[in-house]
Amino acid sequence: MAKEIVELTDANFETEVLRSGVPVMVDFWAVWCGPCRAVAPVVEALAKEYEGRFKVGKMNVDDHPDTPGRYGIMSIPTLLFFKGGRQVGQVVGAVPRAKIETEMKRHM
């Protein structure tokens, strides 16, 4: 995982995401998920490009099921966007970089 990406867990989600001083994009994924692997390089590139202005975290849904359940994650990859402790956006599926980046910019 790139150094710009925070590994999220059920235990650190509140601190890293809900209490973050900058907007956060959370990538809900799993090792066995092909579309998740397809979107991973895009997520990493955006994490590097927006470092300091947008926090990017990844949460493995198999290892940490409580948080995805709380947010109703039914399909992966799902990207949730948070600002000020609230969910403000969502992108589901392996979508083009432009769609993800547009959603990020909406919440900066």
Give φ, ψ of 94 to 5 degrees. Answer: -85, 95
Question: What's the pLDDT at 106?
Answer: 95
Q: What's the rounded mean pLDDT across residues 14-28?
A: 97
- The CATH number for 54's domain is 3.40.30.10
| Residue of 25, 33, 40, 79 marked catalytic | 33
Question: What's the pLDDT at 3?
Answer: 81
Question: What's the pLDDT at 47?
Answer: 96
Question: Above 80 in pLDDT, residue 32?
Answer: yes
3-state secondary structure of 64: coil
| Residue of 24, 36, 40, 61 marked catalytic | 36
Q: What is the pLDDT of residues 36-83, one digit of tens each?
A: 999 999 999 999 999 999 999 999 999 999 999 999 999 999 999 999
- Number of Cβ within a 10 Å radius of residue 45: 15
Indicate the pTM of the whole model. Answer: 0.95
- Total structural domains within the chain: 1
Give the domain range for residue 36.
5-106
To the query of whether residue 33 is one of the catalytic residues in this protein, the response is: yes
